[in-house]
Homo-oligomer: A and B are copies of this chain.
C-alpha cells in the first residue's frame, strides 16, 4: 500500500485504477460522540451510555454522520491528496458496524475507476472507494464517491 506524502497532491491525470492512499488516524471518545450527537443527531444511543443499553446498539455509538465527518477530515488532511481539494457531487455510504468510544479510525482509499471526459481533454471522473477502519481492522464505513474534474 502506498502512503502518500503530505505535500504531494495529485491531478486527475496522475491517478490510476488501483492506486491507494492511507490517512492518518483519529481517536474518538465518548465526549466527541455526545457533542456531535447533541448538535446533529440527538438520539439516546448516541447521547448516553445508560440509555444506549436498552437500544439496538447496546452501547454508546457514534452517529453515522459523525463517522462520515471524521472520515472527511482524514481525507482532507492527506488521506486523499487531490489538487483543488475534495469536492464530491455525492456517493454511496454504508455503515456496516458502529463506531464506539475508544475506536481509532483510519481511512484507506482506492481509485476504482477513471472515466475520461469525451468532450474535454484532461477532464473526467474518478470513482474512489474510501473505507474507514477501526483498530480491529473492521470496516465502520464504506464510501464510494465520484469526483469530476
Residues on A facing B (Cβ under 8 Å) = 36, 39-45, 55-56, 63-65, 68-70, 72-73, 76-77, 84-96, 142
Q: How far is the CB of A103 from chain B (nearest CB, A)?
A: 17
A94 touches B90 (CB 8 A): yes
CB pair A65 B63 closer than 8 Å: no
Let me know if B86 and A43 touch, CB within 8 A: yes
Q: Report copies per complex.
A: 2
Q: Using A39-B73, A63-B72 as known contacts, say yes or no to A44 and B92 having CB atoms under 8 A apart.
A: no
Interface SS of chain A: mixed
CB–CB B90/A41 < 8 A: no
Closest chain B residue to A42 by CB distance? B76
Whether the pair A95, B89 counts as a contact (CB closer than 8 A) is: yes
Q: How far is the CA of A142 from the CA of B95 in the complex (A)?
A: 18
**Contact partners of A92 in chain B: CB under 8 A:** 90-93
Cα distance A126–B96 when bound, in Å? 18
Additional 5 contacts, C-beta under 8 A, given A43-B85, A68-B68: A41-B76, A42-B76, A42-B77, A65-B65, A91-B93
Residues of B within 8 A of A85 (CB): 43-45, 55
Q: Verify B95–A69 contact, CB threshold 8 A.
A: no
Neighbouring B residues of A41 by C-beta, 8 Å: 69, 72-73, 76
